[in-house]
């Protein structure tokens, strides 16, 4: 496994930091890493508690939705890494430039090929919420590069932390191969110890030459980055709901949004062929129609009358 100094283009070339050797017990509250951690705590809680993330953590994620989430990540990291490449020699960002260890675009392209096939590019589009996020990243990279750190921190530190939980959940829930196809995004091949790497990243954050005001702006921007992520999650959550509704007969809420529609043996069939219906759910849907209820009541009354006549 290559060490940071051997493999990455980024960082201060004169510094002999290997991430295996970095200690992080000497932090002060005014260090950028601490300001970011403390200053985004509430945002982190909110992000973890969005419906999309909560469902994902419980393994309630459908493949179609996971594909869209991966697509959103593809557009996001394409923008982020384009701007990081642009600023790789800019002292406000250079110490945090770790292309070999962190960059996700190539991994995401592998995931996109796995999910959509070789012509994946023609099959995807950037969603509204993702576009807003992408636009902000480009703005920052081109006009306020000192804020790029906030976007890199929010995504990569998250990917090396909670992202590793999501990787296992996705693999299990979507029955993805153990060879890790479809979840390359979550696999950091060139980081042997995520905890130690995060310590190095924090040390690099703290070594940036920034005044108090600039640090505050970076924390503010990181909170903005969290908000962009939450907007994407909320958009995905809405799409997830419509995926379920579309699969229902004529808008009749046969599943009422509860339970797992995939457990209905006719669900897959319904997705492929709108005319095909699940007999149980069709019967339940029909039973909810007033005219059908009246006919049922009449039938019950006739049967009860016939039974009474027979008994007499
Ligand atoms: C799936 C739900 C999530 C879980 C279970 C989770 C879990 C965690 C954990 C355990 C840490 C602490 C890691 C450490 O100190 O080494 C962490 C840190 C972090 N997470 Fe999350 N996270 C989740 C979602 C997110 C999201 C959605 C984002 C942002 C898009 C995010 C961004 C971050 C960041 C930036 C840190 C670094 C905090 C710091 O040490 O400065 N996380 N996460």
Ligand 1 center–CA 45 separation, angstroms: 9
Query: What gap in Å lies between CA 261 and CA 269, rounded to an integer?
Result: 12
Question: What pTM was computed for the model?
Answer: 0.78
Q: How far, in Å, CA of 215 to CA of 212, rounded? A: 5
Q: Is 108 in contact with 77 (CB distance < 8 Å)?
A: yes
Q: Provide the residue ranges of all domains of the chain, joining segments of one domain with +.
A: 6-247, 278-311
Q: CA 113 to CA 218: how far, in whole Å?
A: 35
CA dihedral 19, 21, 26, 28 (to 10 degrees): -10
Ligand 1 is surrounded, with C-beta below 6 A, by 36-37, 44, 47-48, 53, 57, 153-154, 157-158, 161-162, 165-166, 198, 226, 229
Q: Which of 43, 157, 159, 235 to mutate to test the pocket of ligand 1 (most atoms within 8 A of CB)?
A: 157
Angle formed at CA 132 by CA 126 and CA 135, multiple of 5 degrees: 95
Tens-level pLDDT at each residue, the chain (312 residues): 333 443 454 444 334 346 656 665 678 999 999 999 999 999 999 999 999 999 999 999 999 999 999 999 999 999 999 999 999 999 999 999 999 999 999 999 999 999 999 999 999 999 999 999 999 999 999 999 999 999 999 999 999 999 999 999 999 999 999 999 999 999 999 999 999 999 999 999 999 999 999 999 999 999 999 999 999 999 999 999 998 766 553 433 334 444 444 444 333 333 333 333 445 544 555 565 666 566 666 656 666 666 666 655
**Among 33, 59, 158, which residue has the most ligand 1 atoms within 8 Å of its CB, making it the best to mutate?**
158
DSSP characters for 194-236? Answer: HHHHHHHHHHHHHHS---HHHHHHHHHHHHHHHHHHHHHHHHH
Q: Which fold has domain 6-247?
A: Heme Oxygenase; Chain A (1.20.910)
Report the half-sphere exposure of 118 (CA within 13 A, side-chain side): 0
């Amino acid at each position: 496994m290559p060490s940071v100094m051997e493999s990455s283009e980024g960082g201060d070339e004169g510094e002999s930091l290997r991430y295996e050797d970095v200690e992080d017990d000497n932090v002060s509250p005014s260090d950028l890493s601490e300001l970011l951690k403390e200053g985004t705590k509430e945002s982190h809680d909110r992000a973890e508690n969005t419906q999309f993330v909560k469902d994902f953590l419980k393994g309630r994620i459908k493949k179609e939705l996971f594909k869209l989430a991966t697509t959103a990540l593809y557009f996001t990291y394409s923008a982020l890494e384009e701007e990081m490449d642009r600023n790789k020699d800019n002292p406000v960002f250079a110490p945090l430039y770790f292309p070999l260890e962190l960059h996700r675009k190539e991994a995401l392209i592998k995931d996109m090929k796995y999910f959509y096939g070789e012509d994946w590019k023609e099959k995807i589009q950037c969603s509204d919420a993702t576009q807003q996020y992408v636009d902000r990243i480009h703005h920052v990279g081109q006009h306020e590069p000192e804020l790029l750190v906030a976007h890199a921190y929010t995504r990569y530190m998250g990917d090396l932390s909670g992202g590793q939980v999501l990787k296992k959940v996705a693999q299990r829930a979507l029955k993805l191969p153990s060879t890790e196809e479809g979840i390359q995004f979550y696999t950091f091949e060139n980081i042997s110890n995520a905890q130690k790497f995060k310590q190095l990243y924090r040390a690099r954050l703290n070594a940036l030459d920034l005044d108090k005001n600039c640090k505050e702006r970076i924390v503010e921007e990181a909170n903005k980055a969290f908000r962009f992520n939450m907007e994407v999650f909320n958009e995905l959550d809405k799409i997830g709901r419509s995926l379920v509704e579309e699969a229902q007969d004529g808008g009749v809420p046969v599943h009422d949004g509860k339970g797992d529609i995939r457990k209905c043996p006719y669900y897959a069939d319904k997705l492929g062929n709108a005319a095909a219906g699940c007999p149980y759910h069709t019967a339940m849907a029909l039973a909810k129609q007033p005219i059908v209820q009246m006919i049922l009541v009449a039938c019950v009354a006739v049967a009860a009358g016939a039974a009474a006549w027979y008994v007499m």
